[in-house]
Chain A
């Protein structure tokens, strides 16, 4: 038993709801097996770079396996097929640093490069190309998983379909992902051809997004503070990987250059309340004005287009000590009225969210707990100290669920168990597979306990 071992305080990227966990540096298969053997009834969960906003990668009173890449984890690329087999602890940043210069880009990237392959699968992450390419799990052809019995299993979408898809989006609750094979995207340059345009309100923005299909990548930033006729105004950026001919000033030898450096770091102590409705509304005004009134084309780096916040290390500190909460939901097409009602509600509440994001999702994949489905997804972040947000979120939750929508578990920090039951109609199917894969109920996390995911 590890009752006397040291407890460490862990929280997600939002810096909320910390918990005391037994943290084990899981450097190899033997270490992982030993940690599992020594774990107590509170179970075990794997943790990558800790970029989930809430509590899926922490386990109060139980064991947390730190899956850290010390730069020695393996990445093997098949140049003929673009299939890469990477250790679960490898970050997307390392994949890009090593493979972009060779002409390969990751199939899906979220707004940060600081996620691991294991985390990308467990959360079935999505990016700006979801409407065309689907989510991360859609590109995975093989997952190697350590089960609670201590066996190493190989999962593929064909031979072990239910276990494979229970693991994709399964929040780490089917086992420890050890490595995975997935298909990269061929690129000829490391630059992006980007088209930026402005929309004066929500309906104009949604109308403009109707032709998203013509672009591989698309996302809209939306101003949740603007009111009246400007409510839901936004800046739409869309683009694709630039070809050599798109680049005028860059010579061929540097066309695939990739430099992931960060520019600055947020100081460790930022006062709580720095981001409030006044600062956010000023920021939003600037951001909107910065975007050109007419459609504008430009060439940007991968970092500038996909990961602007990675330029500021520890940007989560901007929210101060009390942290922040991310909120992301999707509602199906046809429920645009609900989306409008939600944006109206958030705007009326002066929801101090900067960088709220609206995106159009393509088809869902077979993962019962995979978040994306055809429809509109809205993501926002708010300071966690705002007293009214619980009540506001409760109202928005109800609107989302009534419209047949659901919440993203990798970001969730507040929903109640019934919101998962209602939002994920195939939850029961996932639970049955999960229990079959983990009869000992080894895999536990604070998120799983709060949402009653593993208790049947």
Chain B
């Protein structure tokens, strides 16, 4: 539960090594939050972030939980374990995902299936488990970090783009399903984000930063938005992109 000052008591980050995820937590953290849960595949990768949170917010309880997006059957148990340890989850941020390699000669990246599994099936599985728990609580906020890459899939990253498209569509349906339950789900659609995940890529137009995504996310949570775009202009850009005739779209997309 949020307390009387509107401060969530427990915030959980899934994919806790994600730069965007960490930036969102930094932005929504405040004095009065009791617990932060970091769920991550490689626990050692969040030691520094954990220390940072405990240093900035004395007395906050930060716990690290093992989370692998591909171990679908473990997700329910993970959520149950978190709830047993710290109580209701007030805000959950799902920031995990993989970009995958560039398409190779044989059309698809060798890790294509895994990318699809992490980004799509993993999201379906985890958000489903989270929504189930929050529906029992009758309160809670889920933030799903999507991507504009799913809005119209480019030839450059068909696996990543389509997996995000599927997960984003799933999140939209789930968000509608939760209306009236006391639980909300907000979808965040950033454009190209300069981070370690994209360090090897050339920045696309309208590139943004983890910090900017975090600020927009915190604002969206406060005002109860369902979908936000970062930067906001991308909403307009993609409503045009979506309707571009194919030959033109191919040319536009080839530039990114």
Contacts and interface: CB of A to CB of B under 8 A. Distances in A.
B56 interface: no
Interface in B66-103: 87-88
Interface string B6-45: 1101000000000000000000001110100000000000
A134 B59 CA distance: 34
B6 A449 contact: no
B182 A20 contact: yes
Given A390-B32, A455-B87, A19 B139 contact: yes
A390 B31 contact: yes
A414 B7 contact: yes
Nearest to B136: A61
A60 B5 contact: no
Interface string A402-426: 0000000000111011100000000
Contact of A390 (B30, B138, B139): B30
Most chain B C-beta atoms within 10 Å of own C-beta, residue among A16, A394, A450: A450
Interface in A1-49: 7, 12, 14, 16-17, 19-21, 40-42
Nearest to B183: A20
B1 A60 contact: yes
Chain A contact residues: over half helix, strand or loop, or mixed?
loop
A14 B4 contact: yes
A55 B1 contact: yes
A384 to B, nearest CB: 6
Given A60-B1, A60-B182, A390-B31, A17 B87 contact: no
A54 B6 CA distance: 12
B54 interface: no
B137 A17 contact: no
A8 to B, nearest CB: 11
A449 B3 contact: no
B139 A414 contact: no
B5 A413 contact: yes
Contacts of B4: 12, 14, 16-17, 53-55, 323, 325, 384, 412-414
A389 interface: yes
Nearest to B86: A452
A452 B61 CA distance: 14
A133 B2 CA distance: 36
Q: How large is the interface on B (under 10, 10 to 19, 20 to 34, 35 or more residues)?
A: 20 to 34
A67 to B, nearest CB: 21
Nearest to B60: A416
Contacts of A384: 4-6
Q: How large is the interface on A (under 10, 10 to 19, 20 to 34, 35 or more residues)?
A: 35 or more
A76 interface: no
Contacts of A41: 136
A446 interface: yes
Interface string B134-146: 0111110000000
Given A60-B138, A390-B31, A390-B32, A450 B87 contact: yes
Most chain A C-beta atoms within 10 Å of own C-beta, residue among B5, B32, B88, B139: B5
Nearest to B137: A61
A286 interface: no
B136 A17 contact: no
A414 B138 contact: no
Contacts of A393: 5, 32
B181 interface: yes
Contact of B6 (A16, A416, A452): A16
A263 interface: no
B88 A60 contact: yes
A163 to B, nearest CB: 26
Nearest to A382: B5
28 contacts: A7-B181, A7-B182, A14-B4, A16-B5, A17-B3, A19-B139, A19-B182, A20-B138, A20-B139, A40-B136, A42-B136, A60-B1, A61-B182, A325-B4, A384-B4, A389-B5, A393-B5, A393-B32, A394-B31, A394-B32, A413-B4, A414-B4, A414-B7, A414-B32, A418-B59, A449-B1, A450-B9, A450-B87
Q: Closest 10 A-B residue pairs measured CB to CB?
A: A413-B4, A61-B138, A20-B182, A16-B4, A20-B138, A390-B32, A414-B3, A325-B4, A60-B138, A416-B34
Given A416-B59, A450-B3, 14 more contacts: A7-B181, A16-B3, A20-B139, A42-B137, A61-B138, A61-B182, A389-B5, A390-B7, A413-B4, A414-B4, A416-B9, A446-B1, A450-B1, A455-B87
